Structure 1
């Protein structure tokens, strides 16, 4: 028979009310009493009833996380950080794969509303008005990660994408490259697509290198196949190119695959720098030089921010940009 809260109280020699207060993070007991109750819970293997606890504190101890691509390498690293912070704070995580589809996002938001989650983490997609309306209906804290919204006032955790792209391009320039191309995301993506392209162009301008359209190929996504298909296009329209800035590691590694098929040596004949520092970037050959986003830390900070808002430890969350670094590996050649 499963142990009950009454069994815990008896073993710890305290009242049921005291055990309940400790389980729900309420005040009114000493640290010594908390240790005795915690020990009793561990000894008995007691599992609190989440529904019963929810009736007391009006929480389900769950948060919802929405990703446009749960299977993507970037999403998995962000999720690792979110889950670490959530579990540390005593919350479970419901993960939803929106596949960048507006109708699917709305469906999952309604599901999370029905599940009465205590908060939502929203990743890597622009906030549409329909989403914001449901957030208001849910009346729970919402934190953005790897995205932001100019229209809707929601706290975020991310890296400055314009600055990251600027530094990546400047890194190539400082290594003697003057004919630099870019494999970018979408012109309609205000989160990562446009800022990274603008950062690329700004770095060229700063160093008196003209930008012309043939130096850039755009894509709807940031996946391996996009990079693989983009490099031949870019080489065809910009054959004098000596280096490429790719707006994601998957794009960069796709470009490296295409270069191999075209018998172009990386970095001897073509230098490539990526963006993200996914785990695969150090597994590929040659290992990829890239802009490192602290993806796990971003997820962890977003999780900490959300759980603090839920527990009312923080009344208002402050958005934060986390620092990036350039990780030097073996895909960029210094020009003489």
Structure 2
């Protein structure tokens, strides 16, 4: 049985009115009492009745954004575009960075629900599908970014990851590279990019070599470590496709430390086309981050305001942005 406001009041030793004031952040309540009530709500996993709030038309004009790492320019640039559009529509964004940590996911979802956000935007890297179901059970609108859950009926926005994987690999193959390695990020979008990568290899009559495939976390250091492993195989790659710009920068740093010239000795391509791709000049698969942010705000706020009931699965097209980090294979 789900806990009620009465359970919280009884365990905290306060009145129901006091609990209500804490939830709505109204009235004069001591910090000690407020902390105690919040602690009890956490312990009981109690969430206010958002259904009742929705029926009375009460909104907070806020949206919770859950991202795995604000330091990754993909997420920070997306958040900025989302915030710009939400502001135009009269909403504010509350950003929480989960660090791919399930405990942090639980903590922030609970926090945002207590803050009575009107909706959630959840990006790739979120691990707890059960939590998303709990949010939906409270009739709170949810939109997913670069992430999909086939078992749930949700709004989702992302790029055609298969196309991104295929085009990046085809670009390298057309430059004459036959040993093309992949450094994949441990997120759902990598699955379709890998399919595109493998199909492009087949198209150009190249064999998939498991020794040229590494899956890792999205940090510059992990990109360096993965590249070092790839360059140590018996027949090393002449080109590397990193599944985001952060990993690609790690690849380029590793090459530099080894005295390799890019693209003369090693071609490198990333994915996202964030600010990281500008210096050094990185070839990358561009994601339309402005369009993704605006679409996310539009479809979620339309659902919050009851203007639509049908779910949207929006798939945007990536763009190959050729810069200086890829070039013809040198024999």
Query: Which TM-score bucket, shorter chain as reference?
Result: 0.7 to 0.9
- 251, 256, 269: which is aligned to 2:252? 256
Contact 2:230/2:236 (<8 A) preserved: no
In 2, the alpha carbon distance for the partners of 1:115 and 1:310 equals 16
Contact 1:266/1:331 (<8 A) preserved: yes
In 2, the alpha carbon distance for the partners of 1:316 and 1:185 equals 32
Contact 2:102/2:127 (<8 A) preserved: no
Q: Report the 3-state secondary structure (helix = DSSP H, G, I; strand = E; otherwise coil) of the residue aligned with 1:305.
A: helix
In 1, the alpha carbon distance for the partners of 2:88 and 2:164 equals 31
Q: Report the 3-state secondary structure (helix = DSSP H, G, I; strand = E; otherwise coil) of the residue aligned with 1:122.
A: strand
- Give ranges in structure 2 of 5+ residues lacking alignment: 1-52
Q: State the match for 1:171 in structure 2.
A: 171
- 279, 285, 303: which is aligned to 1:283? 279
Q: State the match for 2:97 in structure 1.
A: 97
- 288, 292, 297: which is aligned to 1:298? 292
Q: Report the 3-state secondary structure (helix = DSSP H, G, I; strand = E; otherwise coil) of the residue aligned with 2:106.
A: helix
**Deviation digits for residues 177-226 of structure 1 (CA, Å, limit 9, x no counterpart):** 1121112223xx3x12322222212211122111121111221x122111
In 1, the alpha carbon distance for the partners of 2:252 and 2:93 equals 36
Change (3 A) 1:54 1:310: closer
**Deviation digits for residues 261-296 of structure 1 (CA, Å, limit 9, x no counterpart):** 000000011111111111110122xx0001001123
- 309, 312, 334: which is aligned to 2:328? 334
* TM-score, scaled to structure 2: 0.80
Aligned alpha-carbon RMSD (Å): 1.9
More off after superposition, 118-127 vs 53-62: 53-62
- Give ranges in structure 1 of 5+ residues lacking alignment: 1-52
* TM-score, scaled to structure 1: 0.78
How many residues align structurally? 278
Contact 1:145/1:299 (<8 A) preserved: no
Offset of 1:94 from its aligned partner? 1.1
Offset of 1:109 from its aligned partner? 1.1
Contact 1:245/1:274 (<8 A) preserved: yes
Q: State the match for 1:45 in structure 2.
A: none
Q: State the match for 2:73 in structure 1.
A: 73
Q: Report the 3-state secondary structure (helix = DSSP H, G, I; strand = E; otherwise coil) of the residue aligned with 2:232.
A: helix
Determine which structure has more spread, i.e. the larger CA radius of gyration. 1
Change (3 A) 1:118 1:269: same
Offset of 1:335 from its aligned partner? 3.4
Q: Report the 3-state secondary structure (helix = DSSP H, G, I; strand = E; otherwise coil) of the residue aligned with 2:107.
A: helix
Offset of 1:54 from its aligned partner? 9.5
Change (3 A) 1:162 1:124: same
In 1, the alpha carbon distance for the partners of 2:193 and 2:307 equals 35
Q: Report the 3-state secondary structure (helix = DSSP H, G, I; strand = E; otherwise coil) of the residue aligned with 1:57.
A: coil
Change (3 A) 1:55 1:160: closer
Q: Report the 3-state secondary structure (helix = DSSP H, G, I; strand = E; otherwise coil) of the residue aligned with 1:291.
A: strand
